[in-house]
Structure 1
Amino acid sequence: MNPLRSLRTISQASGEGPVDWGAVGAAAKDVTSPGSVDLTQHEIDGYRGDVTAARRSIRELAAVSFDLPDTIEIQNRHHWIDANVETFRRVMAPIETHTDVFFPDASRVLNTGSTTLMLSFLGKNVLGQYDPLLLAEGDAEHALYFVHPNIRRVATELEVEEERFRRWIAFHEVAHAAEFGAAPWLSGHLEGEMERGIAGLASGRFDREAFRELDAAMTAVEGYAELIMDRAFDDEYADLREKVEARRRGGGPLAQLMRRLLGLGLKRRQYERGKAFFETVADARGIEGASVVWDSPETLPSGEELDAPEKWLARVG
């Protein structure tokens, strides 16, 4: 790692926009150890087997048809940063084109620095990612990533067997693939709410309804994946669940601050709120009944229904 070079890169941020995205990627990698992806053949076969088993088990359990993305990568932290610089750039583009500042050069340095901090923190902590490539141009293919150094480190920190932990993470990410595969409309729906909310921010207002709808949809996405990863998993998981939940809540003061700044507390709430909703629905109607949520945008639960699943059950029949 080279923190001084990272600071120099940030201080020299240039370009026309409020963020120098090239500098963000370079500076984030300078303060993030890449970690190793020198995998043995056994480990490679393990990832392949995990994903295949997850697809088969989830298809059978949820009774939904879906394919895995063509792109499935075992990444180091730098690979993940490179992939997600583009994601950040796409999401920020509408705001960038509508932002006027009095001191653009100084603002660009600050924005580049704050975005670098976010990406480096996430790059050190993300375990796996299903990327639906929202807001991408054309018919971009979805992707599935596993950040191997983080999986290995966290398994060690949690004192759990790495292979079992890795397999459980695979079930979570493949569950996301199942959602987007079963609901071809989902990407467009999320993009529409994102664009509506971002357009409001770009024009200096907060579209509360757009963000409320986006939060409800993302809560359903995260909650369903949490339910499916547990119920489809082919081993004991109670200890994994308990330790991962503690990790989401814990960390030192800096980690907790970063989680608040990045909205990861909101994401944890989405996990918990969504899973509670789907647990209730699945207990009442089974997994197939819970999967009805992906029939159309109209079958997504509202914010009110997420907290009162019986209202959703009554509405969808």
Structure 2
Amino acid sequence: MESNEPTVSSNPQRPQLVNWDFAAGSAARLAPAGPTMTPREIAAAVDDLRAQADASVAHVHAISRLDAARDLRDSELLIVDRASWAKANTQSFRVLVEPALNHLAQSKPEILKAASVSLGGNLTGAQLGAILAFLSSKVLGQYDPFVPSRNGAGGRLMLVAPNIISVERELNVDPSDFRLWVCLHEQTHRVQFAAAPWLKDHMTSAISELTTGMMDKADTLSERLAAAAKSLGMPKGEHPGRRSAAVEQWPDGGKVHGTGLLSVLQDPDDKARLSHLTAVMSLLEGHANVVMDGVDARIVPTVKTIRRRFNARGKSRGPVEKLIRQLLGLDAKMRQYSDGAKFVRRVVDQTGMEGFNLVWEAEANLPTEREIHTPDEWIDRMSLTRHG
């Protein structure tokens, strides 16, 4: 498997709240073993994954009609194992979190120091490693725009070979067809950031603002946790993280019902930042799913079988995995796929792919979270003409 070793800078004088190397090492140790394969089988699978990834680009271009798909040389394609995927994500988290930690070190050094002493970099590293170890056996692929590739300013597209092979065996589907189908989704993310070169900096800034805003209020965390516990009706002394709260978002075009912790722990500015990031992620995931589902049997001969078996796969998860997925927010991410895809399909149906592709031209064209659920409002805001 392939790896990448980017340089990620930090302030060596600042108390280290997370031991990133320890997180990567913990994830590598805890990650479940992949499928049993001989060296020859591994080499053949890697070659085929790379071939399917290359083949998918032309199909992404034909379906998305984004000219950026013609030239992806500034980003990088990596075929990785579970440990390498986990290590790459510690690098991404570090890039995204370091600015907020540096800000906290300057604005409230006593809080950062106290947190570092009480938690310890190894403890937080171990916790992050455990999470990444679980996820490392679930993720089929990922485009990481935040850590530059060896080819330039673009990011890294990672295909997690053990997971793709495990799922194709579990579903008993044609390996090459399944690999091409997966690559269509993942290559679409690569094309999105190539089509909108401003998107990486926009997302980095938005994430930094959210994390910095939350850390600015770190000294009131205990009070806000107490308020969360009270709002959830918990007995005194029970930690809110031990109880789940169902939140049904946007059932009536804009209201949020339920008692989600985020609605209690964040001020209005934090909520607005999170709402914007949720909308962007829903757009990216939904668009990738629409492209993925835009193929027919002429491109992926067994696509109907793959879709049916893959969609049914989630129903067989055990109770422990379901609980972990809920705690990590993975079910919410799956709703992003669905909500975003509905937005994309509605806009394309009403305005054509050319109308939808206005979304990649400027930050102002990104949909709001409300517009994701009411796409006609985005169409009207963009002054697009509806078909028919």
TM range (shorter): 0.7 to 0.9
Aligned CA distance change for structure 1 residues 248 and 201 (closer, same or farther; 3 Å): farther
Number of the residue aligned with 2:53: 51
Number of the residue aligned with 2:271: 208
Number of the residue aligned with 2:88: 83
Contact 1:65–1:181 under 8 Å retained in 2 = no
Q: What do the CA deviations read for 1:62-88 (whole angstroms, capped 9, x no partner)? A: 221223354211111111122112112
Q: Offset at 1:241?
A: 3.0
Alpha-carbon distance in 2 for matches of 1:37, 1:179: 36
Q: Offset at 1:221?
A: 0.7
- Whether 1:133 and 2:146 are equivalent positions in the alignment is yes
Residue type matched to 1:23 in 2? F
Residue type matched to 1:208 in 2? K
Q: Offset at 1:39?
A: 5.3
Alpha-carbon distance in 1 for matches of 2:307, 2:197: 30
Number of the residue aligned with 2:174: 161
Q: What do the CA deviations read for 1:171-215 (whole angstroms, capped 9, x no partner)? A: 001111111111111111111211111111111154111111111
Alpha-carbon distance in 1 for matches of 2:190, 2:29: 32
Please give the secondary structure, in 1, of the residue aligned with 2:157: strand
Q: What do the CA deviations read for 1:218-269 (whole angstroms, capped 9, x no partner)? A: 1111111110111146224333334333445652222222222222122111
Aligned CA distance change for structure 1 residues 199 and 39 (closer, same or farther; 3 Å): farther
- Whether 1:107 and 2:112 are equivalent positions in the alignment is no
Number of the residue aligned with 2:246: none
Contact 2:81–2:162 under 8 Å retained in 1 = yes
Q: Offset at 1:295?
A: 1.6
Aligned CA distance change for structure 1 residues 272 and 39 (closer, same or farther; 3 Å): farther
Please give the secondary structure, in 1, of the residue aligned with 2:143: strand
Q: Offset at 1:101?
A: 6.1
Contact 2:75–2:153 under 8 Å retained in 1 = no
Number of the residue aligned with 1:243: 309
Aligned CA distance change for structure 1 residues 195 and 39 (closer, same or farther; 3 Å): farther
Number of the residue aligned with 1:117: 130
Residue type matched to 1:172 in 2? H
Number of the residue aligned with 1:290: 356
Aligned CA distance change for structure 1 residues 104 and 292 (closer, same or farther; 3 Å): closer
- Whether 1:149 and 2:162 are equivalent positions in the alignment is yes
Residue type matched to 1:194 in 2? I
* Poorly superposed stretches of 4+, deviation over 6 Å: none
Task: Structure 1: give runs of 5+ residues left out of the alignment.
Answer: 1-14
Aligned residue pairs total 301
Q: Offset at 1:135?
A: 9.4
Number of the residue aligned with 2:258: none
Alpha-carbon distance in 1 for matches of 2:203, 2:144: 13
Please give the secondary structure, in 2, of the residue aligned with 1:231: coil
Number of the residue aligned with 1:25: 24
Contact 2:92–2:144 under 8 Å retained in 1 = no
Task: Structure 2: give runs of 5+ residues left out of the alignment.
Answer: 1-13, 105-110, 218-265
Alpha-carbon distance in 2 for matches of 1:23, 1:174: 31
Relative to structure 2, which stretch is displaced further, 141-150 or 99-108? 99-108
- Whether 1:228 and 2:291 are equivalent positions in the alignment is yes
Alpha-carbon distance in 1 for matches of 2:194, 2:188: 10
Alpha-carbon distance in 2 for matches of 1:198, 1:39: 45
Normalising by structure 1, we get a TM-score of 0.86
Residue type matched to 2:78 in 1? E
Normalising by structure 2, we get a TM-score of 0.71
Please give the secondary structure, in 1, of the residue aligned with 2:67: coil
Alpha-carbon distance in 2 for matches of 1:151, 1:168: 11
Alpha-carbon distance in 1 for matches of 2:176, 2:58: 18
Residue type matched to 1:22 in 2? D
Q: What do the CA deviations read for 1:258-306 (whole angstroms, capped 9, x no partner)? A: 2222221221111000001111122223333322221211221111211
Contact 1:134–1:187 under 8 Å retained in 2 = no
Contact 2:92–2:146 under 8 Å retained in 1 = yes
Alpha-carbon distance in 2 for matches of 1:29, 1:44: 20
Aligned CA distance change for structure 1 residues 82 and 38 (closer, same or farther; 3 Å): farther
Contact 1:91–1:135 under 8 Å retained in 2 = no
Aligned CA distance change for structure 1 residues 166 and 135 (closer, same or farther; 3 Å): closer
Please give the secondary structure, in 2, of the residue aligned with 1:184: coil
Alpha-carbon distance in 2 for matches of 1:240, 1:170: 14
Contact 2:67–2:195 under 8 Å retained in 1 = yes
Q: Offset at 1:100?
A: 2.9
Contact 2:100–2:215 under 8 Å retained in 1 = yes
Alpha-carbon distance in 2 for matches of 1:277, 1:141: 27
Residue type matched to 1:243 in 2? R
Alpha-carbon distance in 1 for matches of 2:118, 2:191: 44
Please give the secondary structure, in 2, of the residue aligned with 1:125: coil
- Whether 1:281 and 2:354 are equivalent positions in the alignment is no
Please give the secondary structure, in 2, of the residue aligned with 1:133: coil
Alpha-carbon distance in 1 for matches of 2:381, 2:15: 50
